[in-house]
Amino acid sequence: MLFRYGANVDTVSDGARGADVVIAGGSYAGLAAALALGPRALVIDQHEIGAIQHSACAMPLTIAERFGVRDAVLQVYRDGYVHTAHGSTRFRLDPAYCLFDHQRLCRALFARAGARVLRARIQGLDGHTVLTSAGPIRGGLLIDASGWAGALATARRPDLVDTRRLTLGMEVEIPGQQDGIHFYFDPDLIPNGYAWLFPGGDTLRAGIGACDPHAKLRPGLERFLDRLGLAGKPTRGGRIPWFDRPPTVDDIFLAGDAAGQCVPLTAEGIRFALHFGELVGRIARQVLDGERTLPDGLATYRALVRRHRKRTALMRFAQGFVGVLPNRAIHLIAELLATPAVEPHFMGRYARWSEPVALPPPTLPCGADLA
Ligand SMILES: Cc1cc2nc3c(=O)[nH]c(=O)nc-3n(C[C@H](O)[C@H](O)[C@H](O)COP(=O)(O)OP(=O)(O)OC[C@H]3O[C@@H](n4cnc5c(N)ncnc54)[C@H](O)[C@@H]3O)c2cc1C
């Protein structure tokens, strides 16, 4: 049986239900953490694993290969295009990008992880007891991978979610075929944002996003579809934080959108959710195995996330220009970035951003005499 909802939640000594590690959220970050933890992890999600898709689901092909989910890939992109009102610029994608089937990818990760899952809505946190619609669940370690709303961490830090710093996105999926991955920067479609067209085999995912949380996306999406000669109703969408959040809140680890790890400007969050989810899972496993203390695990994770932040700061700076630069300037910047002297350097560095990292040794061995 693929799913083991609820049945296998351990009963700990005092009769409460619990698990070594409770992971809030069974999407990219949560499942990557579960991969490292196996049956010691209990994943809590309000939906069936893979049932709800918010994302357009594009990521570097190397990430699909690294996480062993090549089978979920629907189309590989070797070229990317930036379209403005002043022309189109082609980028060679090296490494290549791909579009994947969300459900297939999530189910493959979950099956491999061998973690347990509880289908329930997280409603709060009392100490280390997660309050859910299926009753209280005690977690030895807590990982918040519940996306932008941060279901666990906000119980300790209600100000974690800043609604002014959420990107909004909306997408339609319609039959059709196309080559390459396409981005459209055009204030006539959406000011302070962009539209996209991601082909996936026999369907096209066309969407629109804006950094302004009050942006009206639907009229822009209709204009975009009209321009492409397509028609369809939006079927999915959501919010993404574009500002860094703390990677730990007290003794809770945060990964993926819960920690604001999605990259500003490109809104690429999946590979970073997988990357940091996996890191958190590996650190949590070391803590469980007594190879690291929990404070050391939390500090190690914070240090690893700090490196990521330097680059997100740069991307946030670039994002700030989208709504203010004349469209012609955006076109000229795209042309400059696509020149042979710049492109391999720029695209290569961007694509290598989430390469696997080795965990540093613990600063103080477990059980060391502090005196
Ligand atoms: C329209 C749109 C298009 C996008 N396209 C791309 C793209 O092409 N490529 C890319 O890299 N990124 C894309 N992103 C961003 C990407 O979707 C996110 O960065 C990514 O999903 C973050 O993964 P996550 O695991 O951290 O959180 P999520 O994928 O948001 O998963 C959170 C999980 O937690 C569960 N959960 C939340 N609250 C609770 C609760 N209270 N109780 C129980 N369970 C709960 C949810 O059900 C969900 O399963 C897009 C985003 C949007 C909105």
Give every CB contact of residue 268 below 8 A, 6+ residues apart in sequence. 58, 59, 262
Ligand 1 centroid–CA 370 distance in Å is 41
Nearest alpha-carbon partner for 229 in 204, 257, 261, 253: 204
122 lines ligand 1 (CB under 6 A): yes
Ligand 1 centroid–CA 54 distance in Å is 6
Q: Predicted confidence band at 367 (pLDDT cuts at 50, 70, 90)?
A: low
Mean pLDDT of the chain: 92
* Mean local confidence (pLDDT), 173-196: 95
pTM to 2 decimal places = 0.94
118: tokens are 């509880």
273 lines ligand 1 (CB under 6 A): yes
The more confident residue out of 154 and 365 is 154
The minimum-distance atom of ligand 1 relative to the CA of 146 is: 34
Residues 249, 314: contact at Cβ < 8 Å? no
C-alpha separations of 153 from 57, 125, 196 in Å: 26, 9, 32
Residue nearest ligand 1's atom 15 by CA = 269
Ligand 1 centroid–CA 118 distance in Å is 18
Ligand 1 centroid–CA 27 distance in Å is 7
54 lines ligand 1 (CB under 6 A): yes
Q: CA-CA distance, 352 to 342, in Å (whole number)?
A: 16
Q: Predicted confidence band at 165 (pLDDT cuts at 50, 70, 90)?
A: confident
Let me know if 114 is exposed, middle or buried by CB neighbors in 10 A (0-12, 13-18, 19+). Answer: middle
In three state form, how does the secondary structure of 96-109 look?
EEEEECHHHHHHHH
75 lines ligand 1 (CB under 6 A): no
Ligand 1 centroid–CA 71 distance in Å is 21
Angle ∠(138,147,157) on CA atoms, nearest 5? 65
**pLDDT value at residue 368:** 60
206 lines ligand 1 (CB under 6 A): no
46 lines ligand 1 (CB under 6 A): yes
Backbone angles phi, psi at 200, to 5 degrees: -140, 75
Q: CA-CA distance, 110 to 34, in Å (whole number)?
A: 8
CB atoms under 10 Å from CB of 352, counted, come to: 11
Residue 370 region by backbone torsions, left for phi larger than 0, else alpha for psi between -120 and 50, else beta: alpha
Q: CA-CA distance, 92 to 340, in Å (whole number)?
A: 10
343: tokens are 């492109």
Residues 59, 270: contact at Cβ < 8 Å? yes
**pLDDT value at residue 2:** 29
Residues 54, 166: contact at Cβ < 8 Å? no
Kindly tell me if the per-residue pLDDT of 7 is higher than 50: no
Q: How many CA atoms lie within 13 A of 1 on its CB side?
A: 7
Tens-place pLDDT, residues 253-274: 999 999 999 999 999 999 999 9
* Mean local confidence (pLDDT), 106-131: 97
**pLDDT value at residue 279:** 98
Q: Predicted confidence band at 15 (pLDDT cuts at 50, 70, 90)?
A: low
Nearest alpha-carbon partner for 213 in 161, 163, 262, 150: 163
**pLDDT value at residue 18:** 92
Give every CB contact of residue 330 below 8 A, 6+ residues apart in sequence. 82, 84, 185, 321, 322
CB atoms under 10 Å from CB of 66, counted, come to: 17
132 lines ligand 1 (CB under 6 A): no
Report the Cα 80 to chain-centroid distance in Å: 21
Ligand 1 centroid–CA 199 distance in Å is 20
Ligand 1 centroid–CA 148 distance in Å is 7
237 lines ligand 1 (CB under 6 A): yes
154 lines ligand 1 (CB under 6 A): no
Kindly tell me if the per-residue pLDDT of 14 is higher than 80: no
225: tokens are 């579809």
Residues 206, 174: contact at Cβ < 8 Å? yes
Ligand 1 centroid–CA 149 distance in Å is 10
The minimum-distance atom of ligand 1 relative to the CA of 171 is: 1
* Mean local confidence (pLDDT), 36-57: 97
* Mean local confidence (pLDDT), 79-108: 96
Residue nearest ligand 1's atom 21 by CA = 270
Ligand 1 centroid–CA 364 distance in Å is 35
**pLDDT value at residue 1:** 26
Residues 103, 111: contact at Cβ < 8 Å? no
Residue 25 region by backbone torsions, left for phi larger than 0, else alpha for psi between -120 and 50, else beta: left
Whose tokens are 């012609």? That residue is: 328
Tens-place pLDDT, residues 208-224: 999 888 888 999 999 99
Report the Cα 336 to chain-centroid distance in Å: 29
Helices (H) and strands (E) in the chain, counts: 9, 17
The minimum-distance atom of ligand 1 relative to the CA of 58 is: 8
193 lines ligand 1 (CB under 6 A): no
Helix (H) or strand (E) holding 188: none
